Chains A and B, each alone.
Chain A
């Protein structure tokens, strides 16, 4: 009898298709008047010899039924959950609620890249005024009044004695006045020249650099600038120093890199020379040291400067400098 019950349960379990059916099945077997409850009650009428064996059998079946019902129940719950989750499905191919990041201006991106390279080489960052005295912008840098070298830079005047700085070089003088050697800093910033066309804007950016100590040589200038240019434009970049003139450096150099657009074979950008002018540099002119009270017998140093717009134009192949200042969002978002 009890052996048949197992068989019967399995048959009935098979036909259970809803949680309600399962509930009914549980009542039929495990309820107060269920088959197993009844069988346990009937146990008292069995002989004492049969009782332990029968009792064990009934309990086995009871555990068997309980386990199957529990597992069936779990299956139903699982199915229900699946249904709920399916109902909550969204079209994941729709675009997200896009939180577009803004972009840093390309000039500042390049400026940061350059600054970062020098900071890693131990240069600190110095700042100076953009509206500057004639003294710092010219005189102290060995551009005497009424000297043709001043024609190299078309100047905006605030008064006879106050100008918009035409280069970041005045920060050299201010930086040296503030401290004693050793000196190692760069000075990024805005500069102004009275000029506007496809390659000139009245305001642009420069990074100036200065290093002063005992035993600083022209050879060191080449070392630092080559290291910088290799970082900036790649380790295979060819670098060329050639003589030039700046009143505040002597010897002075113009620094070229092999054209990064044509690789040196000659193109429109490098005017078929294969070289691109990228930096002005030189050994600090002793006249400048005298102006800041550094002993020219003990100290030597080098200075350099570069235009950021030009570097950014080369880096991104931009052919019109004015794009930087039109601030068209379609342009700015490209960087």
Chain B
């Protein structure tokens, strides 16, 4: 809302500086967001919150200033001498629920023309373009008194009659209508739209916009001015459905002052007579929806106890009176009637706010509460554990050089298509669609995190970042048939990007093992025992350098090199970069992470180690050897370590050498060399037999 200070001063005289007035308004809840100097005047840009439609006018803001300054309000002149002649004109409200009051005046013999400069300038300051003197007056009164008016060309209204109702009210059957508004556009109306009709047809969309056929034109001489109250919800629904947002609809949908409408009508007639001449006829005022004034009952004690103040009742009453509230003192309470323009004041809390505002938020002391000591419920301690899991996860990747990213929760089909994820994959099928995305690429909520990390890689490489590690912890979403809301799951994803670079220190570890190693260390740290890796089936990973992560036999994630086929599709100008991706479901890990730690006694007797290298078929996974050792299941095996995998010289084609070390230890005695030797030979024999392997000589 743009408000001219000179205009405000006409209603509330004063000599405060514009900056001081701006501060005063801000502290009253009418935040001044901008101060503009215009031709010797100051215009405030005021952010009027949706609860205060009364302040979408000069009079409304002036009322606030008047109450705060204790200066009486000058209401603009609006008395018209309009009792001339008999009127042959009828108004019928067919739907009093949606139109509680409808008033109008006829003015005949006007001369349409340009508005005087002072009027043009005031409208301009308020951000409204001048059209002609009649339309300008309706807009002027809208800004001044906050009540929207509409002027019809009387000559175009058929049958000397106005009807207010929906298509159903007027025609006996609800139907969708097409209607040409005065901006020249044909609009499709919902069947429940409230309309203004003459004897034959709709002539305006109530509270939103008039029709083209009854518009005031240069040749108009007689007009009908409408000033009415329309139901906020009805206006809003129709405005939304037609996509029309006007100064009028903006006010009607927030709630207008049902009492003010009469004064606004008179003020408009007064000004039209002054500016465009003509003869003002008597007022027609139909008011079927008169409601008893709302009464709010609240005690001074309650007001003080919510605010943390100790104001005397007299002071509270004075504050309310200054704001136009009528207060009667009851038994230990106050019976308060708010003024008609304060449509926002409906309950005790609203009264409390008025008192706080008037007293001044700044003056209320800041006091820390006396609070009871909280008890962590079961539910919360469970969550605290989850938080520690997240913390552990985050820390391990941060300390391993991974930097955290946060991506939008959106994705598009292109993201999954790039990765070659089949349309029948759950990550496609369970996508949660957004009806009004900002971009087509952001049509769904994410079902996985890796696509965004790939975008981060492309972005960074194109900005000449050549080596980096990223991770993200965010929710993914999957639609659910049974639940109203989609399933929210926390996922973890990491990406490592590296180009061949010259480096001071040599480290030729395949990056797959770098990422896998951190995941393994993490799982160990979380005391998750039952995990395993198997060759990945993800279509976007290098089939030879990727693994799926299983917890207790269920797939819960993957780690692997991005398939070279997909790397080629990315806009990356680098030769053969190393890109390793990982993603897993954190929520799935939670139940497997061991929360209770139990001490195991330290060994009392010395252990003994034996190393062996076996030559086996290349196809035998090292995990197979470990699995066999576990399968052998001897109490004396304490630990197994793989320390070398070798292919090449001295090893036949199609074979590889795997070297491992086993540590033996008994809990109750020192093992003799013979014990160990015998056991180790048996184990090696067992593995050789199962893998068709041979001890490497």
Given A194, A213, A300, which contacts B371 in the complex, CB threshold below 8 Å? A213
The answer to whether B398 and A101 have CB atoms under 8 Å apart is yes
- Which of B408, B459, B477 lies at the interface centre, i.e. has the most chain A CB atoms within 10 A of its CB? B408
Measured CA separation A95–B503 after assembly (Å): 11
> How far apart are A308's CB and chain B's nearest CB, in angstroms?
11
Contacts A102-B397, A162-B484 given; does A184 touch B348 at CB 8 Å:
no
Given B353, B369, B405, which contacts A223 in the complex, CB threshold below 8 Å? B369
Residues from chain B with Cβ under 8 Å of A287 in the complex: 347
> How far apart are B462's CB and chain A's nearest CB, in angstroms?
10
Tell me the residues in window 28-76 of chain A with beta carbons closer than 8 Å to chain B beta carbons: none
A94 at the interface (CB under 8 A from B): yes
- Which of A158, A162, A227, A330 lies at the interface centre, i.e. has the most chain B CB atoms within 10 A of its CB? A158
The answer to whether A182 and B504 have CB atoms under 8 Å apart is no
The answer to whether A329 and B367 have CB atoms under 8 Å apart is no
> How far apart are B556's CB and chain A's nearest CB, in angstroms?
21
B366 at the interface (CB under 8 A from A): yes
The answer to whether B308 and A217 have CB atoms under 8 Å apart is yes
- For the side of the interface on A, what is the size category? 35 or more
Residues from chain A with Cβ under 8 Å of B410 in the complex: 202-203
Measured CA separation A239–B365 after assembly (Å): 12
A146 at the interface (CB under 8 A from B): yes
A166 at the interface (CB under 8 A from B): no
Residues from chain A with Cβ under 8 Å of B622 in the complex: none
> How far apart are A280's CB and chain B's nearest CB, in angstroms?
11
Residue of B with least CB distance to A136: B485
The answer to whether B369 and A213 have CB atoms under 8 Å apart is yes
B84 at the interface (CB under 8 A from A): no
Tell me the residues in window 53-83 of chain B with beta carbons closer than 8 Å to chain A beta carbons: none
- Which of A146, A239, A242, A252 lies at the interface centre, i.e. has the most chain B CB atoms within 10 A of its CB? A242
Given A102, A131, A239, which contacts B469 in the complex, CB threshold below 8 Å? A102
Measured CA separation A148–B254 after assembly (Å): 6
The answer to whether B349 and A251 have CB atoms under 8 Å apart is yes
Measured CA separation A244–B402 after assembly (Å): 43
Residues from chain B with Cβ under 8 Å of A227 in the complex: 368
Measured CA separation A271–B32 after assembly (Å): 11
Tell me the residues in window 126-154 of chain A with beta carbons closer than 8 Å to chain B beta carbons: 127, 129-133, 146-149, 151-152
The answer to whether A223 and B436 have CB atoms under 8 Å apart is no
Contacts A131-B485, A184-B374, A218-B306 given; does A245 touch B51 at CB 8 Å:
yes
The answer to whether B463 and A243 have CB atoms under 8 Å apart is no
The answer to whether A130 and B409 have CB atoms under 8 Å apart is yes
Residue of B with least CB distance to A149: B50
Measured CA separation A152–B352 after assembly (Å): 24
A222 at the interface (CB under 8 A from B): yes
B612 at the interface (CB under 8 A from A): no
The answer to whether B459 and A326 have CB atoms under 8 Å apart is yes
Residue of B with least CB distance to A115: B387
Given A130, A242, A326, which contacts B475 in the complex, CB threshold below 8 Å? A130
Given B31, B307, B362, B377, which contacts A244 in the complex, CB threshold below 8 Å? B31
B438 at the interface (CB under 8 A from A): yes
> How far apart are A180's CB and chain B's nearest CB, in angstroms?
11
Residue of B with least CB distance to A155: B436
Kindly supply a per-residue 1/0 record for chain A positions 192-206, scoring 1 wherever the CB is within 8 Å of any chain B CB and 0 otherwise. Answer: 101010000111000
Measured CA separation A130–B485 after assembly (Å): 10
The answer to whether B405 and A122 have CB atoms under 8 Å apart is no
Contacts A131-B486, A243-B353 given; does A105 touch B404 at CB 8 Å:
yes
A27 at the interface (CB under 8 A from B): no
The answer to whether A217 and B404 have CB atoms under 8 Å apart is no
B191 at the interface (CB under 8 A from A): no
Residues from chain A with Cβ under 8 Å of B435 in the complex: 156-159
Contacts A213-B369, A327-B459 given; does A283 touch B308 at CB 8 Å:
no
A89 at the interface (CB under 8 A from B): no
Tell me the residues in window 222-266 of chain B with beta carbons closer than 8 Å to chain A beta carbons: 232-233, 236-237, 253-254
The answer to whether B398 and A104 have CB atoms under 8 Å apart is yes
The answer to whether B356 and A243 have CB atoms under 8 Å apart is yes
The answer to whether A222 and B366 have CB atoms under 8 Å apart is yes
The segment from B21-29, B105-113, B200-208 that touches chain A is B21-29
> How far apart are B37's CB and chain A's nearest CB, in angstroms?
14
B219 at the interface (CB under 8 A from A): no
Residue of B with least CB distance to A205: B406
Residue of B with least CB distance to A192: B409
A10 at the interface (CB under 8 A from B): no
The answer to whether A133 and B374 have CB atoms under 8 Å apart is no
Measured CA separation A242–B484 after assembly (Å): 39
The answer to whether B31 and A95 have CB atoms under 8 Å apart is no
> How far apart are B389's CB and chain A's nearest CB, in angstroms?
14
Given A184, A201, A244, which contacts B29 in the complex, CB threshold below 8 Å? A244
The answer to whether A252 and B353 have CB atoms under 8 Å apart is yes
A124 at the interface (CB under 8 A from B): yes
Measured CA separation A252–B374 after assembly (Å): 26
The answer to whether A330 and B371 have CB atoms under 8 Å apart is no
Kindly supply a per-residue 1/0 record for chain A positions 267-309, scoring 1 wherever the CB is within 8 Å of any chain B CB and 0 otherwise. Answer: 0000100000000000101110000000000001000000000
Residues from chain A with Cβ under 8 Å of B98 in the complex: none
Tell me the residues in window 12-34 of chain B with beta carbons closer than 8 Å to chain A beta carbons: 26-29, 31, 33-34
> How far apart are B365's CB and chain A's nearest CB, in angstroms?
5
B432 at the interface (CB under 8 A from A): yes
Contacts A146-B236, A217-B307, A220-B308 given; does A203 touch B408 at CB 8 Å:
yes
Residue of A with least CB distance to B307: A218
Residues from chain A with Cβ under 8 Å of B460 in the complex: 327-329
The answer to whether B459 and A101 have CB atoms under 8 Å apart is no
A100 at the interface (CB under 8 A from B): yes
Measured CA separation A226–B403 after assembly (Å): 33
The answer to whether B434 and A328 have CB atoms under 8 Å apart is no
B596 at the interface (CB under 8 A from A): no
Given A127, A223, A241, A251, which contacts B367 in the complex, CB threshold below 8 Å? A223
The interface of chain A, by Cβ under 8 A from chain B, is: 94-95, 97, 99-105, 107-108, 122, 124-125, 127, 129-133, 146-149, 151-152, 156-159, 161-162, 164, 178-179, 182, 184, 190, 192, 194, 196, 201-203, 211, 213, 215-220, 222-227, 239-245, 247, 250-254, 271, 283, 285-287, 300, 324-330, 332-333
List of 9 A-B pairs having minimum Cβ-Cβ separation, nearest first = A219-B308, A243-B29, A217-B308, A245-B49, A251-B353, A222-B366, A250-B349, A220-B369, A327-B405
Additional A-B contacts beyond A219-B307, A253-B361 (11; CB < 8 A): A105-B406, A122-B373, A129-B485, A130-B477, A131-B445, A146-B237, A157-B436, A216-B369, A220-B308, A247-B51, A327-B470
28 contacts between A and B (CB under 8 A): A99-B401, A100-B401, A102-B398, A103-B404, A147-B236, A157-B435, A157-B436, A182-B374, A190-B409, A202-B438, A211-B369, A215-B370, A217-B305, A217-B369, A218-B306, A219-B365, A219-B366, A222-B364, A241-B362, A242-B27, A250-B352, A251-B349, A251-B352, A251-B353, A324-B406, A326-B459, A329-B465, A330-B465
